[in-house]
């Protein structure tokens, strides 16, 4: 036996040192050089069934919850949902009229038109448990056209963006992740700011906000659309603390994300890149000569030139 | 020597499903508050098997399990591989008869090794450039220590049930 022991654990220190070097090399290659992207994609696609298995207890608990709902609860929920649906249908009628009006206005002003983008419905199948990361995995991947950088929303507001896609699943970086930042705009007074994640599920920090900026507790922050990653006008967070203190040049504004990332079950993926393509193809034409203002301005310029010419001629004579 | 019961490669037929279950428990979704206290099931299972039969479950296997966990939770590739390999290395190289220790001694060693390993990994990742702002590994070390007796007794029972023997089981007598 002792011989076997000595033999089996032979060079354990050497083996360990080699493994540590390999681990550090892998970490550097993955984090700094991003060299293992393809490798990760293939392996993660292969490990997708494990994620499905992991999600089974969650599915069962949801199913049990649904099955154990009483008849009274179901009736109540049904009533609430139908009334909500009714109200939303009424709102939708107005929305269409407003959209048409907005389109007409934008045409008049020669501004580019904003088309409604295509969305994909997806289900959350896993949440990354690493305490440092705020990411979720959804059951849609590159097979249905999901791409990296795709904005993700729910019925309540913005959630984050896609950072990694496999064949059948994608990973979403939530707004509250410490690596995430989003340009926002205060709904009340249109002040722009950048909201960064803190790693905590219920806090965003507005970085580099001057003390003179008017942020108040309860202000709604919308995505500003700057930067081109997130679409404009989606609710992001509500200001919870302005952290005003004497002697500080920069204000520490804190906000609470509108979407509770712990409770997300379904998300919508937004084909935002396509809007750009639509813009290029859209029929935003240059001003025509028949445009009244243009003709008027041209006439005035002509008149001005003509009025100057005789004067010059007279002087010349 | 004749009395030594060698369970052959039977240990792998138990090790693989148990590690799969531990992986699932490690990535299973929990609320943020509870999640901070989630013990590292994979590490516990690996430590048990590495102490149970260090000649079959080696640090290389712990490294591969770590890589799989890294891929599943999208942490930097190699971080959990480093953590698991280091934990197994500390247990196997410094505590040669770990399996024969009293359970409370084992739990204390595991707690300390988990804490040290996570702290080193945290420092290493910080050097490499992964922003970590939380010190959740303290809670994780405590919960891992608390869970060890349960895992140890459960695994010992399963090993007996499937007639898998440790090379140490004869030395005890």
Instruction: Report the gap between the CA of B78 and the closest CA in chain A (Å).
Output: 5
End-to-end CA distance of chain B: 14
Residues A128 and A263 in one domain: yes
In chain B, the residue whose alpha carbon lies closest to the alpha carbon of A28 is: B128
Instruction: Report the gap between the CA of A21 and the closest CA in chain B (Å).
Output: 9
Contact criterion met (CB < 8 Å) for A16 and B167 = no
pLDDT at residue number A8: 53
Domain membership flag for residue A185: yes
Q: What is the DSSP string of A158-194?
A: EEEEEEEE-SS-EEEEETTSTT-EEEEEETTT--EEE
Residues A29 and A134 in one domain: no
Residues in Cβ contact with B126 at an 8 Å cutoff, skipping those fewer than 6 apart? B132
pLDDT at residue number B132: 61
Listed as ranges, residues in chain A with pLDDT below 70 are 1-10, 111-117, 129-132, 244-251, 273-294, 310-317
Contact criterion met (CB < 8 Å) for B128 and A22 = no
Q: Nearest Cβ partner of A131 from B31, B59, B134? A: B134
Q: Nearest Cβ partner of A129 from B59, B67, B73? A: B73
pLDDT at residue number B41: 92
Residues A21 and A128 in one domain: no
pLDDT at residue number B2: 42
CA distances (Å), A9 to each of A12, A14, A15, B89, in order? 5, 11, 10, 10
CB B49 within 8 A of CB B10: no
Instruction: Report the gap between the CA of B164 and the closest CA in chain A (Å).
Output: 17
CB A152 within 8 A of CB A270: yes
CB A187 within 8 A of CB A221: yes
pLDDT at residue number B64: 93
Domain membership flag for residue A69: no
CA dihedral sign of residues B115, B118, B123, B126:
negative
Contact criterion met (CB < 8 Å) for A4 and B55 = yes
CB B111 within 8 A of CB B141: yes
Contact criterion met (CB < 8 Å) for B93 and A132 = no
Instruction: Report the gap between the CA of B77 and the closest CA in chain A (Å).
Output: 5
Cβ-based contacts of A61 with chain B (< 8 Å)? none
Of A156, A144, A108, A139, the residue nearest A259 (C-alpha): A156
Contact criterion met (CB < 8 Å) for A130 and B75 = yes
Query: Range of A231's domain?
Result: 119-281
The number of distinct structural domains making up chain A is 2
Main-chain phi, psi angles of B56, to 5 degrees: -110, -40
Residues A25 and A152 in one domain: no
Instruction: Report the gap between the CA of A291 and the closest CA in chain B (Å).
Output: 56
Could you read off the pLDDT of A21-39 as tens digits, one per residue? Answer: 999 999 888 888 878 878 8
pLDDT at residue number A281: 46
| Bridge partners, residue A165, by sequence | A170
Cβ-based contacts of A54 with chain B (< 8 Å)? 24, 27-29
- Measured at the CA of A180, the angle between CA A183 and CA A27, to 5 degrees, comes to 150
Cβ-based contacts of B38 with chain A (< 8 Å)? 129
Cβ-based contacts of A126 with chain B (< 8 Å)? 27, 29
Which DSSP helix (H) or strand (E) runs through A143?
Answer: none
Provide the Cα torsion A183, A186, A190, A192; round to 10°. -30
Cβ-based contacts of A58 with chain B (< 8 Å)? 29
Task: State which fold the B10-161 domain adopts.
Answer: Arp2/3 complex 21 kDa subunit ARPC3 (1.10.1760)
Cβ-based contacts of B85 with chain A (< 8 Å)? 16, 19-20, 23
Q: Nearest Cβ partner of A31 from B93, B128, B167? A: B128
Residues in Cβ contact with B105 at an 8 Å cutoff, skipping those fewer than 6 apart? none
pLDDT in 10s for each residue of chain B, 173 residues: 444 455 567 788 888 999 999 988 888 777 777 878 888 899 999 999 998 888 888 889 999 999 999 888 878 888 899 999 999 999 888 888 888 889 999 999 999 999 999 889 888 888 887 766 556 778 888 999 999 999 999 999 998 888 887 777 665 54
Cβ-based contacts of B36 with chain A (< 8 Å)? 131
Structure tokens, A102: 């907005």
Contact criterion met (CB < 8 Å) for A178 and B133 = yes
Cβ-based contacts of A27 with chain B (< 8 Å)? 76-79, 82, 124-125, 128
Could you identify the residue written with the tokens 């040669």?
B96
Domain membership flag for residue A207: yes
Cβ-based contacts of B52 with chain A (< 8 Å)? none
* CATH number of the domain residue A202 falls in: 2.40.10.340
Contact criterion met (CB < 8 Å) for B81 and A171 = no
Instruction: Report the gap between the CA of A228 and the closest CA in chain B (Å).
Output: 25
In chain A, the residue whose alpha carbon lies closest to the alpha carbon of B66 is: A23
Domain membership flag for residue A290: no
Quote the CA–CA distance of B118 and B110 in Å, as a whole number: 12
Contact criterion met (CB < 8 Å) for B93 and A9 = yes
Contact criterion met (CB < 8 Å) for A5 and B55 = yes
Which DSSP helix (H) or strand (E) runs through A208?
Answer: strand A204-210
Q: What is the pTM of this model?
A: 0.67
CB A240 within 8 A of CB A224: no
Contact criterion met (CB < 8 Å) for A19 and B76 = no
In chain B, the residue whose alpha carbon lies closest to the alpha carbon of A180 is: B131
pLDDT at residue number A283: 47
pLDDT at residue number A90: 84
Instruction: Report the gap between the CA of A207 and the closest CA in chain B (Å).
Output: 17
pLDDT at residue number A292: 66
pLDDT at residue number A127: 77
Quote the CA–CA distance of A78 and A224 in Å, as a whole number: 36
pLDDT at residue number A131: 62
Could you identify the residue written with the tokens 């770990």?
B98
């Amino acid at each position: 036996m002792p011989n076997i022991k000595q033999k089996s654990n032979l060079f354990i220190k050497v083996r360990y040192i080699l493994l540590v070097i390999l681990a550090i090399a892998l970490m550097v290659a993955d984090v700094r050089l991003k060299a293992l992207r393809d490798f990760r994609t293939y392996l993660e696609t292969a490990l997708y069934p494990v994620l499905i298995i992991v999600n089974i207890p969650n599915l069962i608990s949801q199913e049990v919850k649904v099955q154990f709902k009483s008849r009274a609860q179901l009736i109540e929920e049904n009533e609430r949902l139908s009334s909500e649906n009714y109200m939303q249908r009424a709102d939708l009628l107005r929305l269409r009229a407003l959209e048409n009006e907005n389109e007409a206005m934008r045409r008049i002003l020669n501004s580019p038109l904003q088309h409604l983008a295509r969305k994909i419905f997806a289900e959350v199948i896993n949440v990354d448990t690493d305490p440092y990361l705020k990411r979720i995995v959804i059951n849609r991947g590159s097979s249905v056209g999901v791409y990296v950088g795709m904005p993700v929303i729910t019925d309540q507001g913005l959630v984050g963006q896609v950072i990694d896609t496999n064949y059948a699943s994608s990973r979403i970086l939530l707004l509250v992740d410490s690596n995430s930042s989003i340009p926002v705009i205060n709904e009340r007074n249109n002040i722009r700011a950048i909201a960064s994640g803190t790693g905590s599920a219920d806090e965003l920090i507005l970085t580099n906000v001057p003390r003179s900026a008017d942020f108040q507790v309860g202000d709604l922050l919308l995505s500003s659309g700057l930067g081109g990653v997130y679409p404009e006008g989606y609710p992001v967070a509500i200001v919870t603390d302005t952290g005003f203190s004497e002697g500080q040049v920069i204000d520490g504004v804190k906000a609470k994300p509108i979407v509770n990332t712990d409770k997300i079950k379904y998300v919508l993926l937004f084909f935002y890149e396509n809007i750009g393509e639509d813009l290029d193809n859209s029929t935003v034409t240059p001003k025509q000569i028949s445009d009244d203002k243009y003709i008027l301005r041209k006439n005035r310029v002509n008149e001005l030139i003509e009025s100057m010419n005789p004067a010059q001629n007279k002087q010349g004579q | 020597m004749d009395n030594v019961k060698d369970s052959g490669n039977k240990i792998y037929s138990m090790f693989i499903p148990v590690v799969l279950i531990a992986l699932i428990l490690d990535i299973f979704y929990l609320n943020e508050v509870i999640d901070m206290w989630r013990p590292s099931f994979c590490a516990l299972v690996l430590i048990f098997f590495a102490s149970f039969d260090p000649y079959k479950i080696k640090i290389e296997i712990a490294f591969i399990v770590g890589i799989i966990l890294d891929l599943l939770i999208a942490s930097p590739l190699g971080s959990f591989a480093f953590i698991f390999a280091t934990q197994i290395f500390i247990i196997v190289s410094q505590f040669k008869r770990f399996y024969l220790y009293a359970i409370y001694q084992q739990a204390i060693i595991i707690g300390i090794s988990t804490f040290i390993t996570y702290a080193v990994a945290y420092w290493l990742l910080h050097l490499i450039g992964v922003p970590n702002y939380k010190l959740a590994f303290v809670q994780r070390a405590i919960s891992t220590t608390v869970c060890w007796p349960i895992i140890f007794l459960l695994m010992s029972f399963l090993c007996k049930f499937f007639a898998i023997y440790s090379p140490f089981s004869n030395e005890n007598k």
